[in-house]
Amino acid sequence: MDHAPQPSPADPQPVHASDAPATSGTASAGRRRNPLSHRSQDDRFRALVHHSLDAIVVSDPNNVITYVTPAIERLFGYPPEGLIGTSGFAFVHPDDRAASIEAARALLTRPGSASLQTFRLRHVDGSFRWVECTSVNLLDHEHVQGILNTFRDVTERKEADDRIRASEERLQALLANDDGAILVLDQAGVVQWASPTAERLWGLEPASLWSATMSRLVHPDDRREVSRQFARVVDESSHATARVEARMAHGDGSWRWFESTFANCLDTPSIHGIVANVRDTTDRVISEQALRDSEHRLEHQATHDPLTDLPNRTLLFDRMEVALARARRNATLTAVLFCDLDHFKVVNDSQGHSLGDALLVAVAARLRDALRPGDTIARFGGDEFVILVEDLHDEHETTAVAHLVEQTLRAPFALAGGDVYVTASIGISHAQDGEPGAEALIRNADSAMYQAKARGRARAEVFDDAMRARAVERHQIETSLRRAVSRRQLRVHYQPMIDLHTGHIVGSEALVRWKHPTRGMLYPATFMSIAEETGLIVPLGAWIFDQACLQTARWEQQRGGDVFIAINLSASQLDDLSLTDDIASVLAATRINPGHVHVEITESVLMHDVDASREVLDRLKILGVRIAIDDFGTGYSSFSHLRRFPVDILKIAQSFVQGLGADSEADAIVQAIINLGHTLGLVVVAEGVETAQQLDELRTHDCDMAQGYLISRAVPPERLGELLRADVSPARAVSGRT
């Protein structure tokens, strides 16, 4: 209506049926009926009608138009004259017509009554305009005698209303189809309004949601955080937002994860509250938790021993690094206890691996329970456990922990095979202010543990200065041993062996010596175990093998006869896969008779892993070398194993030989070994023969060969050459008994 042209005095005059040319005959009658007979009143009426923005139409009971004001043309474009005598219904939109007719009928029944209707009327241009029509039944009115209809164009308002309604419907649809819900809360967190989906989201009756405090729905553990975020949004300026994820009570009694975004809309008219956008994120949270769990599991697997579930070596070292760094900052004392179970191998071998495992699990559980929660107990390997203790006041506290371990293990372990008693050898080392580092700390504790074993087991030893000195020495030996071969500091000495029947030298044993630049001549006892542990024995052993075979080839040439060489092989050499190839190439290069090479392997090395040993021995046997069991009698070999190994020679351990003549038990053992060897068709050698009496006894017991200080110490090759030359009649090589 705003844009409707303002009526002006020049506009057409209202048209009355009596003014129409077709009804001019009744014009005087119309004027007669004019209620405003007074001139000025008539003028005023005209002016009012003229200026009214609404169109006034008077119709008869049949809705035929009898009077119309000029405003009609402004509203609908029809010249007023053309409307007189037409039916008002003709202009009504077909869809609205029925209602219009019905309303008109109702109006007719009640003289004096009024009705208000909104419908569409056709504009002269063919479009429809919304009108609000007020109709009053004035048929009985003496001056009007018709229905007075006042039309007002409400198209714009109607369109605006429709737009609002549409957008509201759209919003409702959006809200209803959102997977989240929207709440409007007041500053106290009380729900003022909830979107229709809220009901679905919480599985609650809307009524139980309205005027509830939001925090009442939140899980007690999450309430604090939700309240904190909510308060932040309330306190901060308008449009502040915050997001929080929390568990909320669902109508079905479960807790579900909801993510809420709060927005401060206190200043927004029509909201005046905090808008909470809430989504159910349970599925996401659960899958994230599952992911985290599986990550956690993987990490746990990587850092824990699968058998005992104790931290493994990796985690132990991590914890040690952390502990030592802290100790460095705080200047505190840290300790490591290296615990090795005594005789665990016996349990494992005699009762089976599964019982051995069960014992380790039980020990682990007891130790874990006994220690303070802050201490770390790790499984370091096999039957070794390492305990890390932090923040000690003094070293006595560590000793107390060692006592605790001893006490914890004291009661027997009830296993399927019966009660098992366990003791541990414990090595203790300390780090003051984080020094030394983790590696050294473990190494020191390990050395101390070996000391405890050496001092009789089932005890604890603290790594001290003497051990440190020994450890330093070991370290020095290791470093210089690496260079010993290239610096030509190693020598092979030879100890002759005689045939007890003829008394002649038949061969010799190669024994390594180290001519150390500062320490003088070193014997294998000082460096062999280090060479073993560090793996240096493999190249070293290969070099010795070379030297010994070359030397023996020379003697054979000089002597023109048989002389064998016995070469010791240690455990790591047997484990080395290239051993047989190396030996084969040495044999080929020196063209020595393979049968003149005896490899000596100690009984304990052979018995360590019977199946593996058998395999190696078979491979050696194929090369044609002879195999001697060294230190026989000390390593619990069983008769059946002995029969299955392709062995040629038994060397009776020195300890038995040295008891000969003085100790009747030793006599019996030596006799038994010789008989056993002969029964199996083996050559029996006695080593460590120091006295003539021992030699006599051995002859009496029908031993085949002897070796020992009585005959000769191990001597440099030149010296053995002299002995061989002096030993005029060349002896037979050992070729088994016939």
In the bound complex, what is the minimum distance in angstroms from residue 654's beta carbon to ligand C2E?
Answer: 6
Task: State the Cα–Cα distance between residues 672 and 263, nearest whole angstrom.
Answer: 97
- Which residues neighbour 288 within 8 Å (Cβ) at sequence distance 6 or greater? none
Residue 688 binding: pick among ligand C2E, Ca ion, none (C-beta 5-8 Å cut-off by kind):
ligand C2E
Q: Show the binding pattern over residues 347-386: x = contacts ligand C2E (CB under 6 A), - = does not.
A: ----------------------------------------
Pairing type for strands 255-265 and 241-249 reads antiparallel
Supply the minimum distance, in Å, between the C-beta of residue 631 and Ca ion: 4
Least distance to Ca ion from the beta carbon of 600, Å?
4
- Residue 64 is given by DSSP the state B
Q: How far is the CB of 572 from ligand C2E (least distance, A)?
A: 9
Question: Out of 690, 691, 699, 702, which residue is the one contacting ligand C2E (CB under 6 A)?
Answer: 690
Single residue of 69, 451, 495, 552 touching ligand C2E by CB under 6 A: 495
Stretch that binds ligand C2E, among 161-169, 298-306, 361-369, 708-716 (CB under 6 A): 708-716
Rank residues 18 and 707 by Cβ distance to ligand C2E and give the closer one. Answer: 707
Question: Which residue, 446 or 631, has its beta carbon nearer to Ca ion?
Answer: 631
512 binds ligand C2E per the rule CB under 6 A: yes
Residue 670 belongs to what H/E stretch? Answer: helix 664-679
**630 lies in the site for ligand C2E, by CB under 6 A:** yes
User: Which residues, at least 6 apart from 414, have a Cβ–Cβ distance to it below 8 Å?
Assistant: none
Could you say which of 325, 357, 696, 709 contacts ligand C2E (CB under 6 A)? 709
**217 in Cβ contact with 202 (< 8 Å):** yes
- Which two three-digit tokens encode residue 273? 């509250």
**Which CB, 451 or 551, lies closer to Ca ion?**
551
Give 144 or 571: the residue with its C-beta nearer to Ca ion.
Answer: 571
By CB under 6 A, tell whether 631 contacts ligand C2E. Answer: yes
Which tokens sit at 679? 């029964």
Alpha-helix runs per DSSP H in 13-154: 27-33, 39-51, 71-76, 94-109
CA dihedral of residues 334, 337, 338, 344 (deg, nearest 10): -160
Residue choice 196, 524, 661, 721 for contact with ligand C2E (CB under 6 A): 524
Query: What's the min distance (Å) between Cβ of 571 and ligand C2E?
Result: 9
d(CA 276, CA 181): 8
Long-range CB pairs of 27-34, under 8 A, 24+ apart, other chains included: 33/143, 33/145, 34/143
Q: Which of residues 552-571 bind ligand C2E (CB under 6 A)?
A: 568-570
Count CA atoms closer than 13 A to 314's CA, side-chain side: 7
Residue 600 in the binding site for Ca ion (CB under 5 A): yes
Q: How far is the CB of 686 from ligand C2E (least distance, A)?
A: 10
* 525 touches ligand C2E by CB under 6 A: yes
Q: 708 touches which of ligand C2E, Ca ion, none (CB within 5 to 8 A by kind)?
A: ligand C2E
Among 234, 544, 620, 670, binds ligand C2E (CB under 6 A): 544
Virtual CA dihedral for 580, 585, 591, 597, nearest 10 degrees?
-20
**d(C-alpha 347, C-alpha 354), whole Å:** 10
552 binds, among Ca ion, ligand C2E, none (CB under 5 to 8 A by kind): none
Is residue 523 within the footprint of ligand C2E (CB under 6 A)?
A: yes
- How far is the C-alpha of 173 from the C-alpha of 631, rounded, in Å? 95
H/E run at residue 297: helix 282-303
Inter-residue contact 697 to 668 (CB < 8 Å): no
- 568 lies in the binding site for Ca ion (CB under 5 A): yes
H helices present in 535-645, as ranges: 537-559, 571-575, 579-590, 603-608, 610-623, 639-644
Give which of ligand C2E, Ca ion, none residue 523 binds (C-beta under 5 to 8 Å, depending on kind). Answer: ligand C2E
Site of interaction with Ca ion (CB under 5 A): 568, 600, 630-631
Site of interaction with ligand C2E (CB under 6 A): 495, 510-512, 523-525, 528, 541, 544, 568-570, 600, 630-631, 654, 687-690, 708-709, 714
